[in-house]
Amino acid sequence: MKIVEFEMERDEILDITDEVQKFVEKSEKEDGAVLIFSVGSTGAITTLEYEPGLKRDLPMIMEKIAPYSDYYEHHRTWNDDNGSSHVKSAIIGTSMIVPFSNRRLMLGTWQQIVLINFDTRRRKRRVILHVL
């Protein structure tokens, strides 16, 4: 198991594919799967084609789904402003499992593993990697 930390801005999308690939290469397994888990409830893990257009599109679409300016009961619970961040994270999810063979991730040509910070402020995001 390995824990990796990243400093991220609000709505930042970070390609962590190389970090995950290096972890798999150093593992003792030729074939298996790797669990990628974002610690916290305002971050997310998914795959996408990591290119400038989609890096702008995804936050834009997520803002339409769960607008920051809307009222959320969560704000009353904790007297904060990140209810939309929790909703966005819950929709995308905080973990995924990716298979690997011959110590190579089995991703599509244009498929990268990304970490997203949906919180309303800069955050230190921790990601747990674990070979299964």
> What is the tens place of the pLDDT at every residue in 45-103?
999 999 999 999 999 999 999 999 999 999 999 999 999 999 999 999 999 999 999 99
Average pLDDT value for the chain: 97
Task: Give the pLDDT mean for 100-125.
Answer: 98
Do 86 and 41 meet the contact criterion of CB atoms below 8 Å apart? Answer: yes
CATH code matching the domain that covers 12-131, chosen among 3.40.50.10860, 3.40.605.10, 2.60.120.460, 3.30.70.2190: 2.60.120.460
Question: pTM for this structure?
Answer: 0.96
Query: Quick one: average pLDDT of 35-54?
Result: 98
Q: What is the mean pLDDT of residues 102-114?
A: 98
Buried b (16+ CB within 10 A) or exposed e, 35-45: ebbbebebbbb
